[in-house]
Amino acid sequence: MADDDELTNTNSNFSEGKNFSSLRTENEFFDENKNIRYPSVSIKRIKTKNREDWEILENNKSVLLLYGDNFSEDEKQFLRSINGIQFVLSIYKKILND
């Protein structure tokens, strides 16, 4: 767990307008008791002039690309939301466990 000084510094840097790619810390991905490093999984929305895609990254490497051409406007709107991101992550976790 991060100490109070680290949290204070993170909050003050964030309030100053500095950009962070992630608000997570490295120790969240490592279990010291079991000596296991867990993967970092994230979803990146890629918007270009003519299309909109979603890319799933594991440890900053592309593992799956969802093409926006395959989705309706309502589905795209859902994928832009927090619930949509949670849905995609749950499907990805299912795929990993199979």
* 50: pLDDT strictly greater than 90: no
The CA distance from 8 to 16, in Å, is 12
Q: How confident is the model at residue 1 (pLDDT cuts 50, 70, 90)?
A: very low
How far, CA to CA in Å, does 97 sit from each of 33, 43, 51, 52, 90? 23, 18, 31, 28, 11
Phi-psi category of 28—alpha, beta or left, where left has phi over 0 and alpha has psi -120 to 50?
Answer: alpha
* 14: pLDDT strictly greater than 70: no
Mean pLDDT rounded to a whole number for the chain: 75
Q: How confident is the model at residue 26 (pLDDT cuts 50, 70, 90)?
A: low
Of the candidates 47, 3, 46, 42, the one whose C-alpha atom is nearest the C-alpha of residue 21 is 42
CA pseudo-torsion sign 27, 32, 35, 36: negative
What's residue 27's pLDDT?
53
